[in-house]
Structure 1
Amino acid sequence: MCCSVGFARSLGLALLPLALCCVLANMLLLFPMGEISYLRDHRLSSYIWYFGGLGGGGLLMLVPVTTFISLGKCSCCWNEGLMMCGSVLAAVVGMVGSGYCFVLSGMTLLQGPLCFTALGWTYPFSDDGGRYLLEPDSWSQCLQPVSIVEWNVSLLCILLGLAALEFLI
């Protein structure tokens, strides 16, 4: 039991920075180029409002983080079976959270950013099935926010990677 508790604690400590990075990446998606005006004017991609990194990869991931880190610290009335059952349930919550983050990040990438184009505020890449990701020359369609495609692609790829790591751990 002692070895599995130590291993679980190390998993919790490994998940903690990943969860915090998910929260940070999601928060940065809310403020393109550090500007608050796009958030205030509701000029963000629709899937960003589902808070995949904040809620799924971040807050839900804190359930297994705190459970794993605190395993074995309270020897009062927890027996071994309850402790294992609780850690399995916490792991399931973490898997659901990381899966939510992964799926939402992927959907947001496929949709592309909401940006100002020659046609006004629109999703210029929503109908191309993500092909825009391989065609950086097409990114210049987005006039505002400046470099929004690079901003979103970078942060969403980071969220995809973090969510995949969280899921594996």
Structure 2
Amino acid sequence: MCSGNFAKCLGISLMPLAIVCVLCNILLFFPGGKPVEKEHITEQVWYFGGILGSGVLMIFPALVFLGLKNNDCCGCCGNESCGRRFAMLSSILFAGVGVAGAGYSVIVSAVAINKGPKCVVLINNTVKFWDSPFLNGDYLSNNDMWAKCVEPSDVVSWHLSLFSVLLVMGLIQMALCAVQVVNGLLGCLCGDCCRGSDGAV
């Protein structure tokens, strides 16, 4: 497969992943699917890992990858091959941006999963207050601890599910951008290996 075509496939794959990450981050502003005061939202949600890291920052490399196949830059002194090689080289820089953005989202998600959500807890079965009752991921291996969160209902599974999706999507995005780094290097060094029937690169 041509390096340009392969980059386009990567760009197509990145777009829906970015959309999913943005939606997950937005949903995390509604713990358990319910609106709450902003001070009751988990701190890591405000870091916008899904919106900025795996969302906005991922749009740029995705668009660049999509446009590589149709890049008609005349390049160096009218040498189209040189122009395409330069385009592939520049895609490596955007792939680096994608890796950084997705990496940021992965780190934020991992920290959020480890700390757990903010929720309403009970003291002596009477006093209610908002707190982060879990420490160092202790709730991950003990579902009975989830009962510490009284409200919002299902907030623990909501928090864990959405941040887990962000974590997995971020890792996939990092892998795809890393693949484009290799593809970009090959395209830069070897040029676009495929030629159409008309002999155009």
Q: TM-score, normalised by structure 2?
A: 0.77
Q: For 2:148 and 2:74, locate their aligned partners in 1 and report how far apart those are by CA, in whole Å.
A: 62
Distance 2:38 2:50 in 1: 21
Match of 1:63 in 2: 60
Where in structure 1 are there 5+ consecutive unaligned residues? none
Superposed, 1:143-154 pairs within 5 Å as: 143-154=150-161
- Paired amino acid for 1:102: V
Q: Does 1:89 align with 2:93?
A: yes
Residue 158, structure 1, aligned to residue 165, structure 2:
yes
Q: Which residue of 2 aligns with 1:22?
A: 21
The one of 103, 127, 131 equivalent to 1:122 is 131
CA contact (8 A) 2:71 2:84 kept: no
**3-state SS in 2 of match to 1:121:** strand
Question: Cα distance, 1:73 vs. partner?
Answer: 2.3
Q: Match for 2:158: what amino acid?
A: W
In 2, the alpha carbon distance for the partners of 1:102 and 1:87 equals 22
Q: Higher Cα Rg: structure 1 or 2? A: 2
Tell me by how many angstroms 1:3 deviates: 0.6
In structure 2, relative to structure 1, the CA distance for the partners of 1:65 and 1:168 (3 Å cut) is same
Q: Partner of 1:118: helix, strand, or coil?
A: strand
Q: 1:41 to 1:96 in 2, by over 3 A?
A: closer
1:42 aligns with 2:42: no
Query: Which runs of 4 or more aligned residues in structure 1 lie more than 4 Å from their structure 2 counterparts after TM superposition?
Result: none
Query: How many pairs align?
Result: 164
Identity in percent: 38
- SS of the residue aligned with 1:55? helix
Q: 1:99 aligns with which of 90, 99, 103?
A: 103
Pick one of 144, 147, 151 that aligns with 1:137.
Answer: 144
For normalisation by structure 1, the TM-score amounts to: 0.91
